[in-house]
Amino acid sequence: MRLFFLPGNRPHSRIVVIPARGYGNAVQRNLCRRHGKEAFRALKATIASPTDIAIMCFRGTYTFADRLQQLSSLLAKARLGPKEH
């Protein structure tokens, strides 16, 4: 996963999930988007300020738990979410 972000000018955070070029068929791309959006929903309360976020997902055999961990780690590195333990 790769994370891009900008400070938002709205009262809430927004997200877009983008599968990388050549990411398999439509079913796999849609699953990638669903996992990314659900991971964001799970972590949305921990993001301090309104932020516009773009997540680029790369190919691999990742479960929802893997994507959640990846996003949590990226948010912590960007100092947007909770600190890693």
Structural domain contains residue 83: no
Structural domain contains residue 85: no
Residues 6+ apart with CB under 8 A from 3: 53, 54, 55, 56, 71, 74, 75, 78
Structural domain contains residue 10: yes
The average pLDDT across 59-67 equals 92
Structural domain contains residue 22: yes
Please report, for the domain that includes residue 56, its CATH number.
Answer: 3.30.230.10
Structural domain contains residue 23: yes
pLDDT at 53: 93
pLDDT at 34: 95
pTM for the structure as a whole: 0.84
Structural domain contains residue 58: yes
Domain span at 42: 2-77
- pLDDT tens for each residue of 20-52: 999 999 999 999 999 999 999 999 888 878 889
Residue 36 is inside which H or E element, if any?
helix 26-43
User: Is beta strand 14-19 parallel, antiparallel or unpaired with respect to 51-57?
Assistant: parallel
pLDDT at 25: 94
Total domains in the fold of the chain: 1
Structural domain contains residue 56: yes
